Amino acid sequence: MAENGQLSFIRADDFTLNVQLRGAWRLRNGLPPANLLQRELESARQVRTVAFDVGELSSWDSSVLIFLVEVAELCRQRKIAMDRAGLPAGVQKLLALAEAVPGGKEGAGKWGRQP
C-alpha cells in the first residue's frame, strides 16, 4: 500500500521555496495542513516564489486541489508567486478552473477545511 500523502520543503535559494508532495494524497487518508507552509513562509520572509516537486507523488484525488487552493490563497495574501510548472498538467488545469469560479477566491472553506 502506498504511503499517505506527505509534505516537505526545500529552499532552492533565498527567494524560492520548493514544496514537495510525496506518496498517495487521498481525502480518506487526511491532508497535510497548509498551515505548515504558512509557518515555513513566516520563517523565510524573503521567499518570493513557491514552486512544486511532485516527482514522488504516487497518486492523488481532490485532496491535492484542496491543498493547492489553500496554498494559492496564502501566496496571494503574501504577494508571493506560485510557480505551477512542477505540478501535473491535470492538476494545473483543475486549479485554474477552481480559481475561475466566481467567488472562488473568498477562501478555502468553500473547497474544504475551514480555518
Q: pLDDT tens digit string along 24-59?
A: 999 998 888 888 999 999 888 899 999 999 999 999
What percent of the chain has a predicted confidence (pLDDT) above 90? 64
- Whole-model pTM over 0.85: no
How far is the CA of 75 from the CAs of 27, 29, 56, 81, 96, in angstroms? 23, 25, 23, 6, 15
pLDDT at 2 over 60: no
Instruction: List beta partners, residue 56.
Output: 22
Q: What domains sit in the chain, N to C, each tagged with a CATH number?
A: 6-110 (3.30.750.24)
Q: How confident is the model at residue 1 (pLDDT cuts 50, 70, 90)?
A: very low
Q: What angle do CA 23, 25, 27 make, to 5 degrees?
A: 150
